[in-house]
Amino acid sequence: MRIVFFGTPAFAVPTLQQLLARSEFEVVAAVTQPDKRRGRGKQVMPSPVKQLAEEQGIPVWQPRRIKKDQPTLERLRQAAADAFVVVAYGQILSQAILDMPRLGCVNVHGSLLPKYRGAAPIQWCLHAGETETGIATMLMDAGMDTGAVLLKASVPIAWGENAWQLGDRLADLGATLLVETLLKLERGDIEPLPQDSKLATYAPLIQKADYALDWSRTAIALHNQVRAFYPSCTATYADKPLKILQTVPLTSAASANANLLPNIAALQAIAFPEGAPGEVVHLAKQLGPVVRTGGGVLLLSKVQPSGKKPQSGWDFVNGTRVRVGERLGGSL
């Protein structure tokens, strides 16, 4: 089966690896976003998909606007592909492109469609506190993740799992499901099922404002925000930015998830004093500061002060001499 692969970030790499490892498939080209400046040095860097494709000797095409790029459109026509595989590519494909391959364009999407259509399904499902998510493969149409679903696979979400951790698991699951999808599609052993748009929810692009922590929200809501937008959620301490990387809400719901914190029961037995949202109400030895929120208290178990490396909450307490009664603010 001749495949043109469309993808850009690390999430797409396991699927490309699976296609390259299977004798049933021939990846004739990889289409990815143009190189971008990344990191503190702002060096021009290729996408993870481009790096893998070049290592494997696969032609790489990087149109800035694929719908308007005539040389790329002609290459796609000449590829005579059986299927285009699309995994987090980052550009919308025109109907003309969707109509090119014999079996259609197959997308690997990081949610159980029709839930969380859009650019950031993993992050927004965590933000909503979902306990289950998964992968859907889909025959693409002109809409935003509205095509008929081919296969689904679900996974439970761990209570403390962040977007990077969940993304790694879903990337591997998506790679496996994509192979199964293509083989069944080729044999005619799969029936595309239209989505029920009445059940659709959306996962829009993440904005900078989504990283700002508001301590008047509940401890569980803040915990979900931190893990959803890891590692970017930011508060302030002593008028300087403080990234919050890992938290534990000290609620009854956390009791059933002792993997978050081995001695959580002992902490829950403490009668924490009242305080304003953002106020440090306790210093948990070897763990970190406990902060009052608009609903419950939140342990900050891993943070990153401005200009420093990530550190445990307890190292932060010792390094900055945090005291009970001090308040953390929102982002600058």
Q: Residues forming the annotated binding site for (6S)-5,6,7,8-tetrahydrofolate?
A: 111-114
> How many whole angstroms separate alpha carbon 59 and alpha carbon 76?
12
d(CA 231, CA 168): 15
Binding residue positions: 111-114
Give the amino acid at 291. Answer: V
